[in-house]
Chain A
Amino acid sequence: MCRPVFGRRDPDARGYFGGYGGRFVPETLVAPIEELTAGYYGARADAAFQRELEELLLHYVGRPTPLYETRRLVADARGGRTDGVRILLKREDLTHTGAHKINNALGQALLARRMGKRRIVAETGAGQHGVATATACALLGLECRVYMGTEDMRRQALNVVRMQLLGATVHGVEAGSRTLKDAINEAMRDWVANVSDTYYLLGSALGPHPYPLMVREFQSVIGCEARRQILDQVGRLPDIVVACVGGGSNAIGIFDGFIDDASVRLVGVEAGGERIAPGRHAARFDGGSVGVLQGTRTFILQDEAGNIEQTH
């Protein structure tokens, strides 16, 4: 069985992966981030921590998830002929709570408990990370507060109810565009004010080091499984691995299994919206530029003055 892959490609001491990453946080968060980094490095080296996570992934999350070949989709898309094209789906939707987000939420919730933090704050956009976090907190007996833009709450009302049923408090965020980015700001403000007892459980491959590393490593189980499964089921590596990219957590999770395979193309697909024009899309790699936002140096959508543009 695959496990999360720890310690294989760590960033440098300042948290950089090449030119990206780092820690751009207000001074109050520097010490908590250092505590978190030490806590994470300690946990991932601890056999008992790894074993508990693996058992939960097996018996609670329902791993491994299937790799399923979509024969009729290919034929339908190609007018009845497959021409040897084969498409397989890594079915992360079949995990408990219905999204890959649970892999990371459980890993970080276990870490929080190990660090003695009893209160969890998290952001959520569509609600999948919020539901996963609320679930992990319910499982481990942790207090949970989820920040969600009011526009997202309106669009994803069912997930709000799910989080509440799981015992989480959902706090609506009225600021800015009332979506994910504003929920992250508000979760960070909560963390700044409550650093001693609170753990910020970030769900995307974003934020200051060690968040991108943690999210990648807890999600790496996806790529590890997918690689073994395709070798087993198809007998060869894929030509292309395709993943959708928003915050990047599922993409880096599956890409991680294939990064060392030079023959495999890794393709991220972003939301193009109406067109690549300010406010009309969410393609921060294809239509954005490098900047610093929410603690990390990465590709962002920004205007000439360095303010973050709305996504579509």
Chain B
Amino acid sequence: MSRLRQASGAPRRLAATFARLRSQPGPGLVTYITAGDPDLDRTEGILRALDRAGADVIEVGVPFSDPLADGPVIQRATERALASGTTLVGVLDLVRRVRTAVTAPIVIFSYANPILRLGAEQFADQAREAGVDGVLVLDLPIEEAGEFRGLLAERGIDTILLLSPTTSDVRLLRAAEMGSGFLYAISRLGVTGARDVLADGAEQMVRRIRAVSELPVALGFGISKPEHVRAVGQWADAAVVGSALVSVIAAAGTSSDLNTRVEEYVRWLKS
């Protein structure tokens, strides 16, 4: 791992971002959007708006026809994105287009099948060319992720692993060994979706991970307000906001102030 990191030259963007966050006061913010909602051209504007507003990491969701880990908000976004013709290759092209304009690290967030359909190695090559910093595959648990992680690591791309309240200590250790960039902790059981209050076990979840790993920890699922982000920031390196942001985008639709609304929402989250 360290050898590969040296071989690829400059420190990876995710590592640099989380190092900066640790040296600064205030919580980090990871933002998730579904690419292609309402369409890929507008997603380009949204990515730039997120970056301007100070999102520390941007997760770009690849729409998939059967998003079984997602709640209704992201399901609907996915349907709109697929209806607008969005594909994995189209998403990678978009990342390539915005890469030089966006300073935040970009993480591809996908289900396994679109990546396997393209071919894992082909995907890894295209992701590197596009300037993708990390990849998270929702339904590729660590038992299945070994080879894929190797393909990404060879290309200087981080493999982001998910950890859940149901994850055993043994698996936490394995994830800590295999993961890179940061670890994504799910604060509650269930599918994605905004909630009014943070999950009770969230702090405990982060403590369990801290006990076995030095990697930065981002905590997600159910976060929608600045007070959530601040609370999470007391234990974790960053909070992840997904469904709530996707709702803002859905409400704006194709209106001309879409990017403004996104930017204002993210600034509010960081306030």
Contact = CB atoms under 8 A, between A and B. Distances in A.
Contacts of B118: 306
B162 interface: yes
B141 A307 contact: no
A207 to B, nearest CB: 11
A193 B116 contact: no
B141 A30 contact: yes
The dominant DSSP class at the A interface is: mixed
B271 interface: no
A31 B143 CA distance: 12
Contacts of A14: 143-144
A8 interface: no
Contacts, number: 111
Given A192-B191, A306-B115, A306-B117, A22 B66 contact: no
B75 interface: yes
B82 A307 contact: yes
Most buried by B among A24, A176, A294: A24
B70 to A, nearest CB: 8
Interface string B95-118: 000000000000000001111111
B139 A26 contact: yes
Contacts of B69: 26, 189, 192
Interface in A18-76: 22-32
A257 interface: no
A51 B93 CA distance: 59
A22 B87 CA distance: 25
A194 B167 CA distance: 15
Nearest to B64: A307
Contacts of B163: 27
A175 interface: yes
Given A26-B69, A26-B138, A30-B167, 11 more contacts: A14-B144, A25-B139, A27-B164, A28-B164, A184-B68, A189-B191, A192-B189, A192-B190, A292-B112, A302-B113, A304-B117
Interface of A: 14, 22-32, 175-176, 181-182, 184-185, 188-189, 192-195, 291-295, 300, 302, 304-308
Q: Which 5 A-B pairs have the closest CB atoms?
A: A306-B117, A193-B190, A306-B114, A305-B87, A307-B65
